[in-house]
């Protein structure tokens, strides 16, 4: 488990001036990882670290030979077209490199002259997927989302009996996950109207977003081995923003009895930066379970998880329509929520996922499930905000939406704030809907 250390000190400043500006997502206390190259170039993609409005090129850092021991091994592994090898090295290597980077980027560092030439403006780069995601599992951890959606279909019994006992998830499709900027055609499939005798085929009419976090696994486990809850977060490299696009009309027809299929596998979008679990240490909160609810079974329970198993990660969603772009109108914010409302913790998800002997590989990802808060305005999907398509959402330019239309871009942001610590952010994840082919 990650704890507070010198890298979280809010008095730290960087010789990279933009990292010291108020409101930046990427102060020296953050230092997230991505895979990048200069935009429209033939350069190889390689590892980078965000600092202010710059990317620190890890290829140059590795070549400079300024680090030693585990930090040197880690930066060498991170200088690659994907971060899987670095992610698989384990927590001591992640922490060693984070500390070395923090010291090298601090005001007064002896390495300033060496590293000034390793900075590339973020405005001049393009990103690739940060790692190869071999497997991806989407969870369903927001009880507020589960209740709101369940009430649309089962008003008298919105939560199924297993929800409060077991972290619910399904295995998703990793091949259609892409990095922020993804544009994809509206999916087609079978739907069935309530008053129709037979289903019909055609473009989805109820396209939606889902406000989620992506949780990247680092060091894996052997097939047949269970990761105990006390050790679960040692296997979690970091977090990103995640938009799990959903075709609600396809989903309604196909999801029983085996769950989501074509409604979910056509596109999913991740933010380029992975914020490490260690960077999130100041924003941990207590995890509680209502005393009237079933308490977790023993393998999902620990004092450590109760004390600091939740993360207060703030997130919001905005929609930018084609008309907004034409009129130079700012995107319209539609909701805001927090991961602290999650009914299950990251450690519980990891532990439950492996309790049957399932093996993780470095770069595997978990989706948190749609993160909705207790109030209607904190809903993480249009399905909830529109109350199942019964009410329109009015955007700031007067346009209305029940579900997404062609040309809409969805923008999600994430950030953390806590008294006594610097604000850190995740950047954003953006995706745009194209007309059906």
Task: Estimate the share of the chain in helix, then strand, then coil, as percent rounded to the nearest 5.
Answer: 25, 30, 45
Instruction: Say whether both 101 and 230 belong to one domain.
Output: no
Same domain, 101 and 148: no
pLDDT at 415 over 60: yes
Total structural domains within the chain: 2
Confidence bin at 2 (pLDDT 50/70/90): low
Point out the domain boundary residue: 87, 110, 128.
Answer: 128
Phi and psi of 311, rounded to 5°?
Answer: -125, 130
Indicate which CATH number applies to the domain containing 349.
3.90.850.10
* Residue 370 is assigned to a ligand binding site: yes
Where does the pLDDT of residue 187 fall: very low under 50, low under 70, confident under 90, or very high at 90 and above? very high
The pTM score is 0.97
Domain check: are 151 and 233 in the same one?
yes
Here the CATH number for the domain that contains residue 43 is 2.30.30.230
Q: Does the pLDDT value for residue 3 go beyond 90?
A: no
Q: Is 210 annotated as a binding residue?
A: yes
Identify the bridge partners of residue 413 per DSSP, sorted by sequence position. 316, 428
Does 174 lie in the same domain as 107?
Answer: no
Task: Note whether 225 and 118 are same-domain residues.
Answer: no
Mark which of 96, 112, 128 sits at the end of a domain: 128
Query: Beta-strand (E) ranges in 69-124?
Result: 119-121
Q: Is residue 285 very low, low, confident or very high in pLDDT (cuts 50, 70, 90)?
A: very high
Residues in Cβ contact with 34 at an 8 Å cutoff, skipping those fewer than 6 apart: 47, 48, 49, 50, 55, 127, 130, 272, 273, 274
The range of the structural domain enclosing residue 295 comes to 136-434
Regarding whether 100 and 201 lie in a shared domain, the answer is: no
Tally Cβ neighbours within 10 Å of residue 407.
16
* Alpha carbon distances (Å) from 33 to 14, 98, 352, 374: 17, 10, 27, 32
Are the C-beta atoms of 116 and 60 separated by less than 8 Å? no
251 labelled ligand-binding: yes
Rounded to an integer, what distance in angstroms lies between the CA atom of residue 143 and that of residue 373?
9
Among 78, 112, 128, where does a domain finish?
128
The answer on 352 and 210 residing in a single domain is: yes
d(Cα 121, Cα 52) in Å, to the nearest integer?
Answer: 9
Residue 127 assigned to a binding site: no
Share of the chain above pLDDT 90, in %: 95
Q: Which among 76, 27, 24, 69 has a CA at the least distance from the CA of 47?
A: 76
| 301 annotated to a ligand binding site | no
Residue 158 main-chain phi, psi, to 5 deg:
-65, -35
For the chain, give the percent of residues with pLDDT over 70. 100
Residue 268 among known ligand-binding residues: yes
Looking at the structure, tell me whether residues 110 and 156 fall in a common domain: no
Residues with a catalytic annotation lie at 145
Asked if residue 63 is part of any domain, the answer here is yes
Three-state secondary-structure class, residue 236: strand
């Amino acid at each position: 488990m990650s704890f507070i250390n010198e890298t979280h000190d809010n008095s730290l400043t960087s010789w990279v001036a933009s990292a010291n500006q108020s409101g930046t997502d990427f102060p020296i206390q953050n230092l997230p990882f991505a895979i990048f190259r200069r935009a429209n170039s033939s350069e190889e993609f390689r590892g980078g670290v965000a600092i202010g409005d710059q990317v620190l090129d890890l290829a140059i850092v590795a070549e400079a030979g300024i680090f030693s021991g585990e930090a040197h091994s880690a930066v060498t592994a991170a200088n690659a077209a994907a971060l899987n090898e670095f992610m698989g090295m384990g927590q001591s290597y992640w922490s060693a490199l984070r500390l070395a980077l923090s010291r090298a980027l601090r005001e007064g560092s002896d390495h300033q002259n060496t590293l000034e030439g390793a900075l590339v403006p973020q405005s001049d780069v393009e990103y690739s997927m940060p790692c190869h995601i071999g497997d991806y599992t989407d969870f369903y951890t927001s009880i507020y989302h589960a209740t709101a959606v369940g009430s649309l279909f089962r008003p008298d019994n919105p939560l199924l009996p297993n929800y409060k006992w077991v972290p619910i998830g399904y295995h998703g499709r990793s091949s259609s996950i892409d990095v922020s900027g993804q544009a994809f055609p509206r999916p087609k499939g079978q739907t069935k109207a309530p008053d129709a005798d037979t289903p019909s085929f055609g473009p989805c009419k109820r396209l939606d977003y889902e406000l989620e976090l992506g949780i990247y696994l680092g060091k894996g486990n052997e097939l047949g081995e269970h990761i105990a809850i006390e050790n679960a977060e040692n296997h979690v490299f970091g977090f990103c923003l995640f938009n799990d696009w959903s075709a609600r009309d396809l989903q309604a027809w196909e999801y029983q009895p085996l769950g989501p299929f074509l409604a979910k596998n056509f596109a999913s979008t991740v933010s380029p930066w992975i914020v490490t679990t260690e960077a999130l240490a100041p924003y941990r909160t207590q995890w509680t379970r209502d005393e009237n609810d079933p308490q977790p079974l023993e393998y999902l329970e620990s004092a450590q998880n109760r004390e600091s198993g939740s993360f207060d990660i703030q997130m919001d969603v905005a929609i930018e329509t084609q008309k907004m772009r034409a009129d130079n109108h700012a995107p319209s914010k539609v909701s805001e929520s927090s991961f602290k409302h999650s009914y299950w913790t990251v450690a519980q998800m990891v532990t439950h996922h492996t309790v049957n002997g399932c093996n993780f590989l470095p770069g595997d990802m978990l989706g948190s499930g749609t993160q909705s808060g207790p109030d209607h305005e904190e809903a993480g999907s249009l399905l909830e905000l529109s109350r199942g398509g019964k009410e329109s959402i009015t955007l700031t330019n007067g346009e209305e939406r029940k579900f997404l239309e062609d040309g809409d871009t969805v923008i999600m942001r994430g950030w953390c704030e806590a008294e006594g610590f610097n604000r850190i952010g995740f950047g954003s994840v953006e995706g745009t809907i194209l007309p059906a082919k």
